[in-house]
Amino acid sequence: MSDTLFDLLAPHAADRPAIGGLERDWLTFGQLRDLTAETLETLNALGIGRGDRVAIVLPNGPEMAAAFVALACGTTTAPLNPAYREEEYDFYISDLNAKALVVAEDYDGPALPVALRQGVRVIRLSSPSEKPAGWFRLKVEGDGATAAAAAGGPAAADEVGLVLHTSGTTSRPKIVPLLQRNLAASARHIGATLQLTPDDRCLNIMPLFHIHGLIAAVLSSLAAGASVWCSPGFNALQVFGWLESVRPTWYTAVPTMHQAILARAARNEEIVETTRLRLIRSSSASLPPQVMTTLQETFGCPVIESYGMTEAAHQMASNPLPPRAQKPGSVGIEAGPLVRTADETEDRLLAAQATGEVVISGPNVTPGYEANPDANAKSFFELEGRRWFRTGDQGHFDAEGYLRITGRLKEIINRGGEKVSPLEVDEVLMDHPAVAQVVTFALPHPKLGEEVAAAVVLREGQEAQERQIRDFASERLADFKVPRKVVILPEIPKGATGKMQRIGLAEKLGLTS
């Protein structure tokens, strides 16, 4: 079995396309394997090898995808958001203890002074336009030691291939190390769920500093011998042109991206009718059932909502392909690791359909947070010879084994002791004919502790007042679940990966003063 990224690349025909990009020839699997071997040889000669951490700050595109794969085969990669400010790079590069920083040949951004201050080697990546998409050369900047790497060549299964930080919404971000075998297992799980073959082609519109794009789009495709075409970043105005020219069989995205695509579908009917999409995948946030249904009706293919998180190297559960059902509002059946519900305060599993904290155990799950015994004690427990990870999500299974997430435990609104699932309120408000997007969140309250509030974006050309939306909700929800405040916005603030964030939204909207 393929337990490393190097193994994943090995079995595929050398002339098959692997990575594509704008106005470039395809990089084949043979070229990708050669590029990987050459990259590791270059890095090893610079004293960088297995176990050494290499921060990557590159824009979205085929070079970022190829660099991640090649570097991860023999170093520990740490992709960082190119939009970070200098103080953010200062924290992340220091926290990672990075040995090198890979940037584009012409990069002159805020990561550079940080690397200089911290004594981190800067490596420039160049990719001539006449070369295939993703092809690159590395060149070290300035002088430096050239002693051979302490551990060269491809990494072993139990060595770390990727480190990412948790979002750190309410606390200091935690480092999540993902082993080669974690990454390989997750790539195989996704490929099996989507029944990927070498004839499949993924259109990647997800950021490649994020687990969703790296594993679900890039690694799952390459593991299956399929191809992935890497866009320069999500642009709803360009997606339909890419669907027409790239001819992908699937794409994966977060719900806000799907909604932006749907908003432009009517203007691109001819392209929509001629796509060869076999499936559409959604993950990283809850997909409103109304959006799932509209996507399926618009593109004429199944919409597969999946459930993932960084600590699981992405995928944990997924709606299956036909002939099994895709259930709107559900994240599907377990799709790789074992998935159960557990008591939120005790280390015990619950009955099959009981509501509790979602826990997972499997080959794709991180061995634990780095240098953080307190977080590990809270997040992991041993039971019946297995190590279980607490996801922090609340949910329950139906009689057919489909999991429905009721919310993040820390996002559940506690209104004077009455618990409200923001997802439940979202789903009801999305049924309002004038509502295009909604995110329900907690609003601080002097007596109740928290009150229910919602931010709403209206459909183009539609009108609705706060009172009308509240009245609509009051006909469908218990009184304590009805938002006491509805804010109508032109756009809901989103995080770097396109997800709408509930925690801190009241403060961000100026509602806490």
What is the percent of the chain where pLDDT is above 70?
Answer: 98
Domain ranges in the chain are 5-187, 234-407, 411-508
Within 23-81, residue ranges assigned H as helices are: 29-45, 62-72
Q: Is the peptide bond before 322 cis (omega within 30 degrees of 0)?
A: no
**Short-list 111, 108, 48, CA closest to 77:** 48
The model's pLDDT over 474-491, given as tens digits with 9 standing for 90+, comes to 999 999 999 999 999 999
- Secondary-structure class of domain 5-187 per CATH: alpha beta
pLDDT at 144: 58
pLDDT at 384: 86
> CA torsion 500→61→84→109, rounded to 10°?
-160
Task: Quickly state the pLDDT bin for 507 (edges 50, 70, 90).
Answer: very high
Task: Quickly state the pLDDT bin for 386 (edges 50, 70, 90).
Answer: very high
For residue 294, what are the β-bridge partners?
none
**Short-list 413, 409, 320, 398, CA closest to 358:** 409
The string over 406-425, giving b where at least 16 C-beta atoms fall within 10 Å of a residue's C-beta and e elsewhere, is bbbeebbbebeeeebbbbbb
pLDDT at 150: 83
The model's pLDDT over 339-381, given as tens digits with 9 standing for 90+, comes to 999 999 999 999 989 999 999 999 999 999 999 999 999 999 9
Task: Quickly state the pLDDT bin for 145 (edges 50, 70, 90).
Answer: low
* CA–CA–CA angle 104, 108, 113 (5° rounding): 110
Task: Quickly state the pLDDT bin for 148 (edges 50, 70, 90).
Answer: confident
Averaged pLDDT of the chain: 95
DSSP state of 247: -
- Same CATH topology for 5-187 and 411-508? no
How many Cα atoms are found within 13 Å in the side-chain-facing hemisphere of 235? 10
Residue 392 falls in which region: left (phi positive, over 0), alpha (psi -120 to 50) or beta: left
Q: DSSP 3-state assignment of 351?
A: coil
User: At the topology level of CATH, where does 411-508 sit?
Assistant: GMP Synthetase; Chain A, domain 3 (3.30.300)
pLDDT at 512: 86
234-407 carries CATH number 3.30.1050.10? no
Tokens of 372: 């953080």
Strands (E), 44-159: 53-57, 76-79, 100-104, 121-126, 137-140
- For residue 41, the tally of other CB atoms under 10 A from its CB is 13
CB-based contact 438:454 (threshold 8 Å): yes
CB-based contact 254:283 (threshold 8 Å): yes
Distance CA 341, CA 314 (A): 18
User: 460 — phi, psi (to 5°)?
Assistant: -60, 125
Task: Quickly state the pLDDT bin for 170 (edges 50, 70, 90).
Answer: low
Q: Are strands 227-230 and 17-20 parallel, antiparallel or unpaired?
A: parallel
Residue 413 falls in which region: left (phi positive, over 0), alpha (psi -120 to 50) or beta: beta
